[in-house]
Structure 1
């Protein structure tokens, strides 16, 4: 039998190369066998072992968009980052009681893993090791199904938006929105107080950053309504799960100029209440109102409409926009992701089209935002609808854009509702549109 002393006759660089193929916890156990083992793992003055462990078990962060598009030289503490991930795993899997500081540490670590996921290459895409690890961990820990403290709700909601419908084909339990959650999300999504000038009539906070709680509720309403569609439409759903959040995972990303993958064919699911119901929910005392959840749980006459639309978009110059004012302060825009302007058409089951004009930009918080208007001719006049949405995940993600629509006039009491916009291939069946109540 080879003695420990004989093992360490091997150059430490070779031992590190062998350890790089082991699980990080096994490497930690090896370092505790003896002083020589500890020195091999922790005392060499380079980050080779830590770098290789991350690359083998997660994704190479040097390939992620936040580094490949950054003007700042790449600096990454491989050892610290690996230790963060293993420690976060231990926190959510093993701790009976997690402190708020520990939970924040773990949530921020998990979101950084999503940010570090490699973009989908144009040829032979491979699953992300890091996202696979994270999906398994979130399933096992059920972290996102616990009630978080108030100050961490935005972080939990953001991670939930990325993960909530993961593995819907493998585990139907996780694909279902519970009746209680659906009611809670309807109450939030159709509460007119949640749409005003302070949040630009969209899922944003006062400081302009994304309100992930709002996005989560909008998403839950749309997904629940899509699940109610007849069997024929069961496959007309947006891609979901952590893999769908990866950069360039949407189909038909053809142009570097179109960094957001705007051009092409999309599907859009729009949900809405009858305006009389919307007004009654917000302002009347029926069902112990206003804005009481009983309006949805005890009202046998309540109906919510779901409209599935085909959308075709094309990137254009800003001066080609005809009816939309998409003013943007270019001085505060991201130079690597300049605003893109687009126009196109939206078509429903009746075949009538609405004109669309809008803009996509990168927010200061790293979230991609869509803003667009629709113009629909009605007899001798026109009505315009305005939409604000957030990309779920990274640039040009398959998961698409979730947001809220309302009128472009923004009068008090105007109707509102959630939408979900996702890209499909250009040969997607054109008849995959529907009106459903």
Structure 2
């Protein structure tokens, strides 16, 4: 009988199982439940967490050695989040209770993206290290109707800054999925000057409160408005996707010149070019060549119009 084996051996065997298998085993009897859950030893759950696989949390840029890691809670929450967001258009509209669970799941998935390990650990000249987090996150979102079928998922009701953030990361126009009127909706949002006010800091922000400076003066406290950023990303990428320029009268394939790095791997810490070459006091990375992507004119608007090559280069280098 399996449970007649030494406890240490049983737990070692479980280290090679999936989280679902470990959870199912724990339900077979009281002894199995005790072996899995009634222990302060995190070794089993750390091995299960890494075998999914996920990136080691100890390699995350945000890792704090003074804070113990609850590996069991981490893997349970991530697996649950992936199952919660795996709804289809036929499941819509969601109940209010389910919608709250989905919002919580999106918040956790954002944290998964931010805890991805850097592509380079010590030597930027070495080959990039793949991120298990980003691969798992891509698979998890690919099962969600809001990401694989945005045209048919308009029945989803609710707003979450975490959802909008993931949609901005996802870059829908480059995914080859039906997008319906998404291009028009994003352009209308971006060009609507009502979205540019003092409360939005005249940009892609929103005011979450105020800070009193003195008796007569106060200032807004801002955070990123990811719905606005999502529409900016869509507007730029739809322009790149639909731009058929590249004839001899234009610079060679300007879409490649304009297209920014996309995908979850481009969000990883130290993935920006020259990250390891910064001076010690240049913590914000402000030195060097900057590339600015402007969404207030779709690149498709330039199609068929003669553009001097120096103008295209200048725009790309601003």
* Fold conserved between structures, TM > 0.5: yes
CA drift at 1:350: 5.8
* Pair 1:91-2:84 in alignment: yes
- The one of 224, 237, 246 equivalent to 2:238 is 224
Contact 1:272 1:305 in 2 (8 A): no
* 1:154 aligned residue: 161
* 2:283 aligned residue: 259
* 2:18 aligned residue: 23
Q: 1:44 to 1:182 in 2, by over 3 A?
A: same
* 2:212 aligned residue: none
* Pair 1:135-2:135 in alignment: no
* Pair 1:235-2:256 in alignment: yes
CA drift at 1:120: 2.1
* Pair 1:79-2:72 in alignment: yes
CA drift at 1:46: 1.6
Q: Which moved more, 1:114-123 or 1:203-212?
A: 114-123
Aligned-partner Cα distance in 2 for 1:9–1:250: 51
CA drift at 1:434: 7.1
Aligned-partner Cα distance in 1 for 2:78–2:9: 25
Aligned-partner Cα distance in 2 for 1:263–1:20: 47
CA drift at 1:79: 1.4
Q: 1:77 to 1:67 in 2, by over 3 A?
A: same
Aligned-partner Cα distance in 2 for 1:46–1:244: 36
CA drift at 1:22: 2.0
Contact 1:107 1:156 in 2 (8 A): yes
CA drift at 1:273: 5.0
- The one of 246, 251, 256 equivalent to 2:268 is 246
* Pair 1:66-2:62 in alignment: yes
Contact 1:32 1:38 in 2 (8 A): yes
* 1:43 aligned residue: 38
* 1:106 aligned residue: 105
CA drift at 1:49: 1.5
RMSD: 3.0
Matches within 5 A, 1:138-217: 138-144=141-147, 145=150, 146-147=153-154, 148-150=156-158, 152-165=159-172, 168=174, 172-174=175-177, 178=179, 180-207=181-208, 208-217=222-231
Secondary structure of the residue aligned to 1:209 is strand
CA drift at 1:107: 0.9
Aligned-partner Cα distance in 2 for 1:101–1:133: 22
Q: 1:43 to 1:210 in 2, by over 3 A?
A: same
Aligned-partner Cα distance in 2 for 1:239–1:47: 38
Secondary structure of the residue aligned to 2:296 is strand
Contact 2:42 2:71 in 1 (8 A): yes
Q: 1:142 to 1:433 in 2, by over 3 A?
A: farther
Contact 1:271 1:304 in 2 (8 A): no
Higher helix share: 2
Aligned-partner Cα distance in 2 for 1:125–1:165: 25
Contact 1:51 1:79 in 2 (8 A): yes
CA drift at 1:50: 1.6
TM-score by length of 1: 0.56
Q: 1:270 to 1:89 in 2, by over 3 A?
A: closer
Secondary structure of the residue aligned to 1:205 is strand
* 2:217 aligned residue: none
